[in-house]
Chain A
Amino acid sequence: MIRRVAITPTPPPDAALVQALKGRLDTAAQARLGRSLALRHVDAGSCGGCELELRAAAGAVHDLARLGLRFVASPRHADVLLLTGPLTGAMREAVERTWDAMSDPKWVVAVGDCAVDGGAFRGSYAVLGGVDTLLPVDLAIRGCPPSPLQILAALAALVEANA
């Protein structure tokens, strides 16, 4: 027998955040993206904690596909670049090339404290800092790691801003 796990309702997106995100998006992009966003995740130097919670957000219990969000393999198909981890020197080129491969309109989402500002690893010789040292960040999801519900709520705001 399959034991049921209670599905936690997704918190409603924060109205102020939706407005702020809408401000970053021009009308042409809105017409093109609608209520569906394709996500491409890149590990920019993470410990793997944010990946665990991203997998949980995408998985059977939280199922972010129900919000119109899906992970895609190719950056060519992606609207959103989800970055985890502090940006290491060794990942700089890979992140840059992934971003360049994505077509406009496109977004950058920093997932977790490390991606937001380097987190615990700020100042290390191997780390450049948050991902905003390389790319313009549209949405920062704080937490170490952020929970699947926090990730869902923030991404729901992104969908709402596009709708």
Chain B
Amino acid sequence: MAAALGVGPEPALLGLWADAAQVHALLLDRATGTPHLASVPVEGGAFPALSPARPAAAWFERMIHDLWGHHATGGTDARPWLDHGHWPATPPMAARPAPREGAPPHAVFLPATAPGLHILPLGPVRGGITAAAHLRLSCAGGRIVRAEARLGYTHRGIPLLMRGKSPRAAARFVARLAGEATVAHATAFARAAEAALDTEAPPRAAALRDAMLLMERTANHLGTLAAIAAAAGAASAAAECERAREMLARAAEAAFGHRMMMDAVVPGGLVADIAPDGVPAVRAAATAVLDALQAIGRRFAATDLAGIGCVEAGTAADFGAPDALAGDVAARAAARLRSAGEAAAALVPALADVPDGPLSVALPVGSGEGLAAAGSDPVWHWLRLDGGLIAACFPLDPGWLTWPVLEAALAGAAAEDASPIAASIGASVAGVDL
């Protein structure tokens, strides 16, 4: 499979995961935007590695080994990833996990050599209100020689919790995979379940899902911009982003009964309709956010974020990450501002076009396989249903492709710039930790 893919970024690898008998690669032909799911059988507990051809595959191969026990033959990295040695039996997704014995092993990090090298180990308990992740910076002088992330601290075992449940019951875990992308994950999962059963959500539910995705995307961009501004010491820009984000959270509560719209999207449609005063509330918030973005843009223009944390366009493409991550911190902030403006502007027409009709359909009890994304967000869900229950599934968070970009962006940067650089990449921890 690795040889067939060849060297070079096309097609892009979006994700790699497994079930009991197969390993599945999600590939994207970027020229046409067509996704392909390629599957290879696991033979003798092993499958051919993709990491020699696609560097981002290494993280997935480590995860597959930790969760299913399948070994990637010829892989570039065989260290554990999500498994820190605390699970009572491993591998947890295998048919017969074996009890673990002995003390948890020490983490092994990649070596770095430079004169006067010192290590800055950050996390899993870091300053401020942050997710549990470890970032290890090997520095010489004030410069980062190598940055390496270690995740898995917030692994909650979500793929196993979902297995054997109905799509409706599993949606509760999907909504809590990554809090900031709860609508995106719930929508991709619902669409995958609907595709597996050859059904579709009613037009009203589909239109409201699109509006909710736009609200969540706008709020996320504002959150990331607030984090960049705070890390860069631009307190007024951060405050402006926080105010705008709060307006969206309140509109979400008025419209859908929850500030983050958690548990609103389920397979088959939506749990509840938008509240009668929800439409004007969201419209007002969108208009206010568009105003605020003007002020935020001016404040960002006054910050000095250019030239730090540079990522070559080719590097982002090598990892299959979105082009918006290329460039320096200033470029990524500008891309977020643009994208937030587009999403907020699209909200008003999206709410104007919501057709009348039912909110959900009952899902038939059946079998099938489904793969779906959440709109333009690179969140994917794959599942296989057997007799109405989930036989295998995988939630694919975009964080899998952004952590490698963060490591690349930090290499060569000044250690004191690590916070704004990390904030500008905005890699999700919980979505990758599963």
Q: Which residues of A contact B (CB under 8 A)?
A: 1-3, 5, 41-56, 58-62, 71, 73, 75, 85-86, 88-92, 94, 97-98, 119-121, 124-127, 144-145, 147
The answer, yes or no, to whether B127 is at the interface (CB within 8 Å) is: yes
In Å, the complex CA distance between A51 and B180 comes to 9
Count how many chain B residues have C-beta atoms less than 8 Å from C-beta atoms of the other chain: 51
B91-137 at interface with A (beta carbon < 8 Å): 92, 124-125, 127-132
Which residue of A56, A90, A121 contacts B242 across the interface (Cβ within 8 Å)?
Answer: A56
**Cβ distance B159 to chain A, nearest Cβ, rounded Å:** 10
Contacts of B259 in A (CB 8 A): 53, 147
Instruction: Identify the 5 closest CB pairs spanning chains A and B, nearest first.
Output: A49-B179, A89-B86, A60-B239, A73-B127, A48-B179
Given contacts A50-B179, A144-B262, whether A88 and B242 have CB atoms under 8 Å apart is no
Q: What are 11 A-B interface contacts by the 8 Å CB criterion?
A: A3-B243, A43-B154, A52-B223, A56-B242, A59-B238, A60-B239, A90-B153, A91-B124, A91-B153, A94-B132, A126-B86
Distance of A119 from chain B, by nearest CB (Å): 8
**B110 nearest CB across to chain A (Å):** 20
- Give the interface of B toward A (CB within 8 A): 84, 86-89, 92, 124-125, 127-132, 152-157, 160-161, 172-173, 176-180, 182, 223, 226, 238-240, 242-243, 245-247, 249, 259-260, 262, 288, 291-292, 295, 428-430
Q: Which residue of A lies closest to B176 (CB)?
A: A47
A contacts with B: majority SS = mixed
Q: How far is the CB of A64 from chain B (nearest CB, A)?
A: 11
- Are the C-beta atoms of A126 and B132 separated by less than 8 Å? no
B238 contact from A60, A85, A97, Cβ within 8 A: A60
Residue of A nearest to B260 (CB): A49
Which residues of A lie under 8 Å from residue B246 when comparing CB positions?
5, 56, 59, 61-62
In the complex, A89→B153 CA distance in Å?
8
Q: Besides the contacts A60-B243, A90-B153, A90-B154, what 4 more A-B pairs have beta carbons closer than 8 Å?
A: A43-B130, A48-B178, A59-B226, A126-B86
